[in-house]
Structure 1
Amino acid sequence: MRTLLITGPGGSGRTTIAAATAHQAAAGGIRTLVLSADRSDTLGAALGTRTGTSPVRVAPRLTAWRPDAAAGFRDDLTGFQDRAATLLDLVGASRLDPEEVTPLPGSEELTLLRALRDAALAEAHDLLVVDLPPAPRALALLALPEELRRYLRRLLPPERQAARALRPMLGRLAGVPMPAEQLYETTARWDLELAAVEAVLADRRTAVRLVAEPGPAGADAVRDARLGLALRALPVEALVANRVLPEEAAHAGPLTGIAAQQHKVLGEWSGAATVAHLGHDPRGAEDLGALAVPAVNPAASPVEWPVVDRLAQDGVLVWHIPLPGAIREELDLVRRGDELVVSAGPFRRIVALPSVLRRCGVDGAALRDGELCVRFAPDPGLWPRGQ
């Protein structure tokens, strides 16, 4: 299944573009599911059909779904309390009733990730269109599965879990229940769920569609979003310039200044798809059909981080990491064991080194034309002569 993630600055009309993209794909014969976790039903307003906690058939081959974060959070907490009953009794903690549970910050994002995983595993559709939160929150959301899995592995490494078989015996010897078994089982389940989400995001058929209004603020937001997505190796399938005013508005009338700014930025956004302003908020199939959103590409162009062998010429291997829009002064690299910590502007990622680079030391780095080139020199102690 093809997955298209849609985000952009807040207020840029990304939900409308998500609805129009899904509508266009379904009209073209593609079985499409459009997914949103927005508390308010902005997706339903754009589609002209109310959406809710269960998938709703909007049109032939088009389904919309807005999962309930509150219900999901209550179910998760209730399940955790059931699994951790021994530990809660041991420490004298009282359990929470489902009726008194309200979602914590971030529960909408976790609900959206779970729904994304469930939709991908169900394989009932050919295209999944995901209406993500505004770009800064979306980038944090997309980083969440990888980061949480790394935290889980550090807190409860697999080698420590191997001793689980001894814990029932230790519990009998100590005379008290040992709650670690439930903890390890919960951790393993979380890791499996996060790995499934990570697999969807890393799939070569997954891409991002960026939506922004052309203008100074939109240009800054797009530049930052491109950098954050590149650091996550997520390809941008299309840049959609939304709510574009007609060119004649730049020459006369009350919108002259705004239209002139828009067309200036459009000149800088090479290859951007332009969606005209309808003069009102799009509502329903007729309005969505009037929006000239680009067709969904049958396959994404994946972001590659190749390692180039220059041992014969320069005695180094060069890891090429595309970082469009990165500024040299805002870049930072730290080698830590078999990982490389890359910081670019407000974004940071810890990436595992390719196996061939783990036997090397960092020999330097340079930023050229939006690409970070990190040089690695073989470590003689780990890379014997002749290999």
Structure 2
Amino acid sequence: MRILLFTGKGGVGKTTLAAATAVRLAGRGRETLVVSTDPAHSLADAFGTRLTGEPSLVDTRLHAAHVDTRGLVDSAWDELRAQLRAVLAGAGVDELDAEELTVVPGLDELLALTEVARLAKTDNWDTVVVDCGPTAETLRLLALPDAIATYLQRAFPARSVRGMVSGVGRQGWVDAVTRLAAHLAELRDLLADPQVTGVRLVLTPERLVVAESKRTLAALALRDIRVDGMIANRLVPKAGMRRGPAATWLRTRRGEQDEVLAELRASTPIELHVVEHRAAEPVGLEALASLADELYGRSDPLGSSVSRPPSLLQIRPEGAGYVLRVAIPLTEQSDVDLARIGDDLAITVDGMRRLVPLPAVLRRYEVADASVDGDGLLLQFAGTTP
């Protein structure tokens, strides 16, 4: 099974392109499920049909659904939070404090991701296409397995939990925490496996949008999540031999867009597809199939010209120490901050942070220098081992 996550700045057309990709995949004989996790659902509008939280048949080999995160929270979380409040209250925690402690940040997004994983297992799908929310929401979504695991570990350490809970309740809570940890690890492995999951970044050929897309590439690389394709949507048509003010505007605007895309292609090896702006909004299976023809031509939507990405961390010995490369695509405008926190390296790129456990061989060394090259960060570790 392959999972394709479509994301991009709000309004760039990611829902339509996700739907068109799903139509192409199903048309090529693959059992395909397309799911929307965007809180502002428009997947049903793209198909011109009604969708629910469970997969429904849209066309031969094509099913679609949208995730109702609010309903998931109402049905799945209230009971668990009530149990947790009881545990904390039994440990002498004030009722108001207990209420605050049971508010897990990003719960809606976590449940949405969990629901996608559940739906992916409901049938023998060849491909699951996910219409994600706008870029910022998607980055939070993909960071959640790590973030919530860290949150729970710090808020409810295993020793503290065992000390607070006694009897039958104790074993039940410990089992629940163990199951949650395993579930988060499974989600993280699913997202980080480039043989299973790929991200398709949708953009419009404008400098501000492309700048955000470059930051997104760095943020996803920081999470070890592979972007295996980009789609530039809504290129204005070429004017050809036409004359007049409208033709002049088309040539000028298309020239600006082509220049932006040339710069983007020069900055990354990721395959870039382009789609021209259409006079009529593509709604319905026939229009989506036509859009997919323009988007992919004769190629396979699952194909990619990019090989398996390098691992996030690469180490090599140098002199009396080591060099650690952190493989993140950076630009001259990237805002990078590094900090050593115990045995972890806190890496912040354009406001997105990740705690990366240092390889054991480096934990007795100190960071002596840091620099940036075309392949990411280079950290010099110096010191002597005992």
Aligned to 1:239: 230
How far residue 84 of structure 1 moved from its aligned partner, in angstroms, is 4.3
8 Å CA contact 2:162–2:170 kept in 1: the answer is no
How far residue 118 of structure 1 moved from its aligned partner, in angstroms, is 1.2
Q: Distance in 2 between matches of 1:306 and 1:87?
A: 40
Q: Distance in 2 between matches of 1:30 and 1:323?
A: 33
Within 5 Å, which residues of 2 pair with 1:25-174? 25-80=25-80, 83-84=83-84, 86-87=86-87, 106=106, 108-122=108-122, 124-160=124-160, 167-168=166-167
Corresponding position: 1:331 with 2:336: yes
8 Å CA contact 1:4–1:129 kept in 2: the answer is yes
How far residue 57 of structure 1 moved from its aligned partner, in angstroms, is 1.1
Aligned to 2:311: 304
Aligned to 2:198: 207
8 Å CA contact 2:313–2:327 kept in 1: the answer is no
8 Å CA contact 2:38–2:134 kept in 1: the answer is no
Q: Distance in 1 between matches of 2:381 and 2:43?
A: 48
Within 5 Å, which residues of 2 pair with 1:249-264? 253-254=245-246, 255-256=249-250, 257-264=252-259
How far residue 147 of structure 1 moved from its aligned partner, in angstroms, is 0.8
Corresponding position: 1:10 with 2:17: no
Q: Distance in 1 between matches of 2:222 and 2:310?
A: 10
Q: Distance in 1 between matches of 2:188 and 2:79?
A: 23
8 Å CA contact 1:120–1:200 kept in 2: the answer is no
Q: Distance in 2 between matches of 1:119 and 1:252?
A: 53
8 Å CA contact 2:221–2:312 kept in 1: the answer is no
Distance 1:78 1:237, change over 3 A: same
- Residue 247 of structure 1 aligns to a residue whose secondary structure is coil
What's the TM-score once normalised by structure 2's chain length? 0.83
8 Å CA contact 2:345–2:357 kept in 1: the answer is yes
1:140-159 superposed Cα distances (whole Å, 9 cap, x missing partner): 21111101101212233345
Moved more, 3-12 or 78-87: 78-87
Out of 365, 377, 380, the residue aligned to residue 372 of structure 1 is: 377
Root-mean-square deviation over aligned CA pairs: 3.0
Aligned to 2:275: 275
1:197-254 superposed Cα distances (whole Å, 9 cap, x missing partner): 2121112221111001101222222122112112112221111000111122797544
How far residue 189 of structure 1 moved from its aligned partner, in angstroms, is 3.5
Identity %: 31
How far residue 316 of structure 1 moved from its aligned partner, in angstroms, is 2.7
Distance 1:121 1:159, change over 3 A: farther
Q: Distance in 2 between matches of 1:88 and 1:343?
A: 34
Distance 1:162 1:85, change over 3 A: closer
8 Å CA contact 1:86–1:179 kept in 2: the answer is no
8 Å CA contact 1:332–1:344 kept in 2: the answer is yes
Residue 70 of structure 1 aligns with an amino acid whose one-letter code is: R
Q: Distance in 1 between matches of 2:117 and 2:147?
A: 17
- Residue 198 of structure 1 aligns to a residue whose secondary structure is helix
Q: Distance in 1 between matches of 2:371 and 2:95?
A: 54
Aligned to 1:99: none
How far residue 109 of structure 1 moved from its aligned partner, in angstroms, is 2.0
8 Å CA contact 1:243–1:277 kept in 2: the answer is yes
Distance 1:24 1:290, change over 3 A: same
Q: Distance in 1 between matches of 2:312 and 2:117?
A: 25
Corresponding position: 1:286 with 2:286: yes
Distance 1:120 1:318, change over 3 A: farther
Q: Distance in 2 between matches of 1:216 and 1:160?
A: 51
Q: Distance in 1 between matches of 2:122 and 2:309?
A: 24
8 Å CA contact 2:282–2:288 kept in 1: the answer is yes
Q: Count the aligned residue pairs.
A: 361
Distance 1:77 1:234, change over 3 A: closer
Segments of structure 2 that go 5 or more residues without pairing to the other structure are: 97-102, 266-270
8 Å CA contact 1:41–1:51 kept in 2: the answer is no
Q: Distance in 2 between matches of 1:161 and 1:87?
A: 9
How far residue 25 of structure 1 moved from its aligned partner, in angstroms, is 1.1
Segments of structure 1 that go 5 or more residues without pairing to the other structure are: 95-102, 169-177, 382-387
- Residue 205 of structure 2 aligns to a residue whose secondary structure is coil
